[in-house]
């Protein structure tokens, strides 16, 4: 039996990551890749919860910058995350992974409401639980929802999925000499204003000593690699 470094994790996927080759919406290549990576670790007995963003459909902050009130813009964003959750649920179920979607805003014809104890029970039964609708509150990002839900379900770590293989001192796409950090502290992230999770989410992780690993989800096998303790991406911890 392979030794697992983590047994219960929360995977944070941005809406942007679901775009893949598209300008808008959900690229099935992306959801299929993510689903098969999740399947690999669920089959090892890992309990996986997912928080998903909505930026592939709607960006609340830019909508509010363009004149919409922030609360309304954020509610539309929360609805976008529910669309993504259903898309990912479908991709997971097509490959035989049992899932439950729970929403922070009640929408019971479509999914279960968020009930912490039920979510934990689902995880214990090795169902993948997808948390949708952010925290249910405007002004809070899905990063903050990820930190909050991870704490509530007592996940050991947040897996922050990105398109690059960790956190760099500058944009590695634009700058050839960008340096990757293998390890960082929460304080480094806040002081250097590195975009790992937003500052509210980072503070929540720091106060509660919840580590974050930032890694490239586009590379098949990476979720399993991190679960098995391989040095992939950037690890953010208290010290
Ligand atoms: P157990 O308690 O372990 O049996 O969990 P379960 O999720 O299988 O039980 P339940 O009978 O609550 O759910 C059966 C199915 O109905 C699952 O697919 C749930 O996702 C779904 N379900 C449960 N509650 C709701 C709800 O409030 N709204 C919607 N739309 N679906 C629900």
Residue range 77-102, pLDDT digits in tens: 999 999 999 999 999 999 999 999 99
Task: Point out the ligand 1 atom lying closest to the alpha carbon of residue 100.
Answer: 20
* Separation of CA 131 and ligand 1 centre (Å): 14
Instruction: State the average pLDDT over residues 126-151.
Output: 98
Instruction: State the average pLDDT over residues 72-76.
Output: 96
Q: Which of helix, strand or coil describes residue 142?
A: helix
The whole-number pLDDT of residue 6 equals: 98
Q: Is residue 1 scored above 70 in pLDDT?
A: no
* Separation of CA 72 and ligand 1 centre (Å): 30
CA distance 102 to 72: 21
Q: Which of helix, strand or coil describes residue 32?
A: helix
The whole-number pLDDT of residue 195 equals: 85
Global pTM reads: 0.95
- Which phi and psi angles does 135 have, rounded to 5°? -90, -5
* Separation of CA 107 and ligand 1 centre (Å): 13
The whole-number pLDDT of residue 62 equals: 84
The Cβ of residue 202 has, within 10 Å, a number of other Cβ atoms equal to: 22
pLDDT band at 173 (very low <50, low <70, confident <90, very high): confident
* Separation of CA 113 and ligand 1 centre (Å): 10
CA distance 122 to 219: 28
Task: Provide the terminal-to-terminal Cα distance of the chain, rounded to the nearest Å.
Answer: 31
Query: 228-232 contacts: CB < 8 A, separation 24 or more?
Result: 228/2, 228/3, 228/4, 228/5, 229/3, 229/5, 231/182, 232/165
Task: Point out the ligand 1 atom lying closest to the alpha carbon of residue 108.
Answer: 28
Mind listing the domains of the chain with CATH numbers?
Answer: 8-237 (3.40.1160.10)
What is the best residue among 90, 108, 112 to mutate for testing ligand 1's pocket, by most ligand atoms within 8 Å of CB? Answer: 112
Q: Residues with Cβ within 6 A of ligand 1? A: 100, 108-113, 125
The whole-number pLDDT of residue 63 equals: 82
The whole-number pLDDT of residue 27 equals: 97
In the chain, the percentage of residues whose pLDDT exceeds 90 is 92
Q: Is residue 220 scored above 70 in pLDDT?
A: yes
């Amino acid at each position: 039996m392979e030794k697992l470094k983590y047994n219960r994790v929360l995977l944070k996927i941005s809406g942007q990551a679901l775009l893949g080759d598209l300008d808008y919406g959900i690229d099935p290549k992306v959801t299929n890749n993510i689903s098969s990576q999740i399947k690999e670790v669920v089959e090892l007995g890992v309990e996986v919860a997912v928080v998903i963003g909505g930026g592939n459909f709607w960006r609340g902050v830019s909508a509010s910058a363009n004149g919409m009130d922030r609360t309304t813009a954020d509610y539309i964003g929360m609805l976008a995350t529910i669309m993504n959750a259903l898309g990912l649920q479908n991709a997971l179920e097509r490959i035989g992974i049992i899932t439950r979607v729970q929403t922070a805003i009640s929408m019971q014809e479509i999914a279960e409401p968020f009930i912490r104890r039920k979510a934990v029970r689902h995880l214990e039964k090795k169902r993948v639980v997808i948390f949708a609708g952010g925290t249910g509150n405007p002004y809070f990002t899905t990063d903050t929802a990820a930190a909050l839900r991870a704490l509530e379900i007592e996940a050991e770590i947040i897996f922050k999925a990105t398109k690059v293989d960790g956190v760099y001192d500058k944009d590695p796409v634009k700058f050839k000499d960008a340096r990757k950090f293998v390890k960082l502290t929460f304080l480094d992230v806040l002081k250097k204003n590195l975009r790992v999770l937003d500052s509210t989410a980072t503070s929540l992780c720091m106060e509660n000593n919840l580590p974050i690993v930032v890694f490239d989800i586009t590379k098949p096998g990476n979720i399993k690699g991190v679960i098995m303790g391989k040095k992939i991406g950037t690890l953010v911890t208290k010290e």
